[in-house]
Amino acid sequence: MTSNPDRPGGEPDAPSTPERSIRHVCVFCGSSSGEGGRYLDAVTELGRVLVEREIGLVYGGSRMGLMGRLAQSVLDGGGTVIGIMPRALMNREVVHSGVQEMILTSSMHDRKSEMVARSDAFIAAPGGLGTLEAFFEVLTWGQLGFHRKPCGILDVAGFYRSLGMQFEQASREGFLNDAHRRMVLIDDSPTRLLDRFEAYTPPEVPRWIASGET
């Protein structure tokens, strides 16, 4: 696997062309399907919108749950899918064998670094601890100035309503400044969320620590 300078520890790539800044979106979501069919329907629609906009998908590489449905939706529409999975999790029973590219990494941290390198924006769809952990690490890297890419939450059926309230609480109590609060784009429509990604202007925040100190 080749290294990419746009991960923490290197200099970012040159900005994408203005006419089409979002070429690949990384989506974090559950390897379970959730209760009922609404979450599966939501990621199916997200996949359809990505294909419609000619945006490639970067995701965790599984064929299970929401992850698998999202990837299959993009593939069924003729889109491009890049899976990124740690070797320790590689299993023929769960890995999606139909994606155009499957990247194996040596650790979970390297997996997220590769996702940042390969993506122009990030979405958290419904999921559990792994989804939240990955999204918050990428969001924190943005806060620290290691990337300037939009981070959004697809709030399906109010799944992330309480998380949005927590962001507001952290802001009111002085733990999250307004510039960093505005970094988190929350919407229940994949179309609107991608529109907001295209219009996103990252905050001018200082790089608090050297990238090698993460």
Asked if residue 4 is part of any domain, the answer here is no
Please give the Cα distance from 29 to 4 (Å, whole number).
24
Q: What CATH number is given to the structural domain containing 73?
A: 3.40.50.450
Number of structural domains in the chain: 1
Contact 159, 123 (CB under 8 A): no
Phi-psi region of 54 (alpha: psi -120 to 50; beta: other; left: phi over 0): left
Q: What pLDDT does 119 receive?
A: 97
In the structure, what pLDDT confidence band is assigned to residue 18 with cuts at 50, 70 and 90?
A: very low
In a domain, 40, yes or no: yes
Q: Could you tell me which residue, 3 or 48, shows the higher pLDDT?
A: 48
Asked if residue 66 belongs to a domain, the reply is: yes
pLDDT digits (tens, 9 = 90+) for 33-63: 999 899 999 999 999 999 999 999 999 999 9
CB 194, CB 22: distance < 8 Å: yes
Parent domain of 115: 21-199
**Residue 167 in this model has a pLDDT that exceeds 80:** yes
Check residue 97 and give its pLDDT: 87
Residues 163 and 125: beta-carbon distance below 8 Å: no
Instruction: Note the pTM of the prediction, 2 decimals.
Output: 0.85
Mean pLDDT of the chain: 87
10 Å CB burial of residue 172 (0-12, 13-18, 19+) is exposed
pLDDT band for 196, please (50, 70, 90 cuts): very high
Residues 86 and 57: beta-carbon distance below 8 Å: no
pLDDT at residue 94 in the model? 87
pLDDT at 11 over 50: no
Residue 150 within a domain: yes
Q: Which tokens in the block code for residue 115?
A: 């996702």
For residue 50, being part of any structural domain is answered with yes
Q: Do residues 3 and 209 touch, judged by C-beta distance below 8 A?
A: no
Structure tokens, 82: 């890049």
Is 151 inside any structural domain?
Answer: yes
98 within domain boundaries: yes
pLDDT in tens, 112-155: 999 999 999 999 999 999 999 999 999 999 998 899 999 999 99
Mean pLDDT of 74-79: 97
Domain for residue 214, yes or no? no
pLDDT confidence of 212, banded at 50, 70, 90? low
83/64 Cα distance (integer angstroms): 13
* Range with the largest mean pLDDT of 105-109, 175-179, 191-195, 209-213: 191-195
pLDDT at 8 over 70: no
pLDDT score of 1: 36
pLDDT at 93: 58
